[in-house]
Amino acid sequence: MKIRPFVKTDFERCLEIFDSNCPAYFFVDERDEFAEWLRVAKEPYWVIEENEKIVGCGGVYRAEQHTKSSAEYADEVGFAWGMVDARYHKKGFGKTLSEYRVNYLKNNFAGRPIVLRTSHLTSAFFEKMGFSTKEFIQDGWEKGLHKVVMVYGEN
């Protein structure tokens, strides 16, 4: 397992990973937003590889870098567009990539709240990673897909 920075030649593979998670974890209409993130992201974004094949991707954000931020905290940092190819779920890649991103944020933004906005489908996974639920919004993403706002290390 290897984590390395995203490069432009990873673009299509990351879109394939996104597609593998539709419609269970993402909606097809989010694809353009994700593609735009990959094209112009100012924040670190990584891919995780197994045997030189990209099996997942994910990044981070800082609230002050985004005009469309839904940040509750002006100084929050958090996870952005994390996903593992559906064929590789439950093999440890998501955990490894999440730990990598938490460590990056703790090392580079000590003392700032680490926030995650996910769905009810993945919130239990992130609870095991040290996140706690701060808000649950029924149908917060789409009808039937509830939004869960989580913060790392807060109880």
- Residue 46: in which H helix or E strand, if any? strand 45-50
Which segments in the chain show pLDDT lower than 50?
A: 66-69
Residue type present at position 92 = G
Instruction: Say what the pLDDT of residue 74 is.
Output: 64
What's the distance, CA 86 to chain centroid? 15
Instruction: Say what the pLDDT of residue 69 is.
Output: 45
Domains in the chain and their CATH numbers? 2-152 (3.40.630.30)
Strand, coil or helix: 62: strand
The model's pTM: 0.89
Instruction: Say what the pLDDT of residue 70 is.
Output: 52
Strand, coil or helix: 4: strand
Do the beta carbons of residue 71 and residue 55 sit within 8 Å? no
Instruction: Say what the pLDDT of residue 100 is.
Output: 98
Instruction: Say what the pLDDT of residue 64 is.
Output: 65
Instruction: Say what the pLDDT of residue 65 is.
Output: 55
Mean pLDDT, all residues of the chain: 90
